Amino acid sequence: MTIQKFCFVLIFALSIPCAGKAQFEDGDFSMGLSANAIMYTDYGAKTAGGLTMQLFLTDNVSLNSNFQFGPNYVHMPIGMALASLVFLSGDPSGCSNISCNDDDYWAVLLIILFSEGVSFHLPVLNNVVVSPYINPMGVDYWYEPNRIDDSPFLFTFSAGTKLNLFAGENFNFAPYVEYKTIYGQGHPGFGAGVTLNAIVR
């Protein structure tokens, strides 16, 4: 059996949910450190370290946030970039026409600022969860000295899968691979890496 066939069979097998205790639960908050490689056609490649966060809306659905930092490269949710514009506008809280004493206001604001996309979590074993995801609200700062005529700010879309491998109930190791592209420009690419995560229940 070739390596490609073996990988296909493994991914297919892990994608079939089976009975077992769910490793994620409604209300969980996951935070982790990441090591990442990113590449776009015609743009080259970058490596970056970062921070990843997930807020669980149900046992099987979470909101995603990713922050990555490397040489001449930064990635964050679009909401954080927009927040910078609000801050520079002279109304840092964005509360000029809204009652900011409402807890719901702050909850919604945080979700808007930090959400980049959504993940779906499929338990396949007691210590394995397959998590396909879609992140349509990302922005990259990508500086290349030989592309000085192009804006370094790229609005991005990504979709991929994480394989969450648990070490106990509150920690997991998650390799991932994803497809990436730049809105309005094409330049398909991919990302890959690993995250080490702690879960607050």
List all residues 6 or more positions away from 126 whose beta carbon is below 8 Å from its beta carbon.
20, 21, 23, 166
Quick check: 139 and 153 in contact, CB under 8 A?
A: yes
What is the model's pLDDT at position 121? 97
Q: How many helices (H) and strands (E) does the chain have?
A: 3, 10
Question: Two tokens at 104?
Answer: 């719901």
Using CB atoms within 10 Å of the CB of residue 105, give its burial: 0 to 12 exposed, 13 to 18 middle, 19+ buried. Answer: middle
| Dist CA 159 CA 117 (whole Å) | 9
pTM above 0.95, yes or no: no
Mean per-residue pLDDT for 95-119?
67
Q: How confident is the model over 105-109, as a mean pLDDT?
A: 62
Confidence tier at 126 by pLDDT (50, 70, 90): confident
Q: Look at residues 142, 147, 144, 155 and name the one whose alpha carbon lies nearest to residue 181.
A: 155
Q: Domains in the chain, start-ordered, CATH in brackets? A: 25-81+113-200 (2.40.160.20)
Considering the chain, what is the average pLDDT of its residues?
Answer: 82
pLDDT tens-digit map of 14-67: 444 444 455 899 999 999 999 999 999 888 899 999 999 999 999 999 999 999
Share of the chain above pLDDT 70, in %: 72
Q: What is the pLDDT of residue 14?
A: 46
* pLDDT tens for each residue of 158-191: 999 999 999 988 999 999 999 999 998 888 999 9
Q: Report whether pLDDT(85) > 90.
A: no
